[in-house]
Every structure is written in C-alpha cells, then in structure tokens.
Homo-oligomer: A and B are copies of this chain.
Amino acid sequence: MTRFSLNQWTTRHWPMPDLLAGCAAAGVDVGLWREPVAEYGLTRTAKLVQEHGLTVTSLCRAGFFQRPDALEDNRRAIEETAALGAPVLCLVSGGLPEGSRDVDGARSRVADLLAELAPYAGEHGVQLALEPLHPMYCSDRCVVSTLAQALDMAAPFSPTQVGVMVDTYHLWWDPAVWDGIARAGAEDRIALFQVADWVTPLPEGVLTGRGMLGDGCVELRRFREAVDATGYTGPIEVEIFNDELWAMPGPAALDLALSRFAQHVV
C-alpha cells in the first residue's frame, strides 16, 4: 500500500529476515530500529534490504543527549542511517540527567548537540528528525515536548539537515498542533509522519500503552490531511508500542495495521 511504512517496533519480536520478507511481500516500506539492526548486523541488514528492493523510511533512534557519549553515539547512528540508505534518523532528545531539575539546561544541550551533528548529518545525506514526545516523557525521555518547540530548535539549521517528526500519539492533545503542522510544512521541516492512537488507562511507566489505529481518540485522518495539506508526500510510519500487539505474530500484526490504516488514516 502506498505510503504505508511499518515501523519495526510495532512488530518488535518479528525476526529481521522475516520482517523484511514480510514487508516486501506486502509491498510496504519499513522503518528500522538500531538495536535489532545491530543484532542482525548492519551490513547484513543493508544487504537483505537491497535484495528485497525495500525502502527503509527511517532509522530509530538516536538522541539521548544527556548521556556522556551522546556525540559519538549520534555520529555512529548517522553513519548507520546512511548505510541503510534511509533518509531520516529519528532523534529522541533524552530527559533530565539523574537528579537534575535543570530543564532549561537540558534543552540547551539539545541545541548544542544539534549544532555539532547537523553538518555531519548533511555530509552523510541524512536528515535528523527531532521528535517532540508527549509531555509525560519530559523528565525521563525527551525534553522536547511540542511541535512549536521542536521547530524553534530546528530553526537555526538547514531543513535538509534538521527536520521534525510529526507523531499523532505525542501531539494530538496540543491545541496549537494544527498551526504547528502548517508551520512545519511552510518551513519544509516535516521529516517524517508517524501514527498511533491514544488509549487509556495508561499502563505503569506509560511506555507500552499506545493504541492500534482506530482504537483511541486521535483524529488520525485529520492529522494525515493536515500533513498532506502542507505538501508532504512522504511515508506514513505506523509505530505502536503495545504489549498485545507485540504478542501477535508479525504477519497478523502487519495485516491488522494495514487494514486499520486503510480505515482510519488514508
């Protein structure tokens, strides 16, 4: 199906060769994650991707700028993205250092590291996708919390080097999100569009509670139309962290995602 891309974490237990074969058979693109790529082998993964004639829409994820080795690790991630032929590297900025209350400082560090990494990304033909995560992750995962904030942080850089991620799960609640999407399009910053639905109650730790498309309260089609209205014609990645989905066999999860995508997104 055109524009549909299966983010690997949606079917995280599907072994790499089966995932790639499954996506190729279904005629869909794939978004990969660094950990399973490393486990299977970067070169081996790139080779298999090529053999299947697959398009890798993104590599998830680098960032986590509060870690001491962040610069080096992010450079490696840029190289991995290029090796996979993916145009986009997803960046989750990281939260506050342990025991810190300095959220402004953590945000400054994101700006500083983007300045270091943007040219390196450019040299490798990779666009960094700075991802605003839902504010419930601000302290421990991502101090970038709104689309407007991500666009402000991306502003000093060329859009070919630093764009933003538009993910319905993280942004749906924001009354300013429609203005943000229009602005992101006007500034040519939409690096990637990801979809997942919002369901409650949230589980402990709030990490694995994303909803299958159509199961929650997000106006998914309105988001897709708003993103499209800016001129974005790129892939739409389905990225859902959900224990029930993870318990399903990969092909069944992909089928379900494809059918819900047709029903609720396009």
Contacts and interface: CB of A to CB of B under 8 A. Distances in A.
B218 A135 contact: no
A147 to B, nearest CB: 12
B201 A202 contact: no
Contacts of A175: 107, 145-146, 149
Most B-side CB within 10 Å, residue of A146, A198, A206: A206
Nearest to A219: B101
A257 to B, nearest CB: 19
Interface string A149-171: 10000000000000000000000
A40 interface: no
Interface size bracket, A side: 20 to 34
Given A107-B175, A219-B103, A202 B135 contact: no
Nearest to A264: B101
Given A135-B136, A206-B206, 5 more contacts: A101-B217, A103-B217, A103-B219, A145-B173, A148-B176
Interface of A: 96, 100-101, 103, 107, 134-136, 138-140, 145-146, 148-149, 172-176, 198, 200-206, 216-219
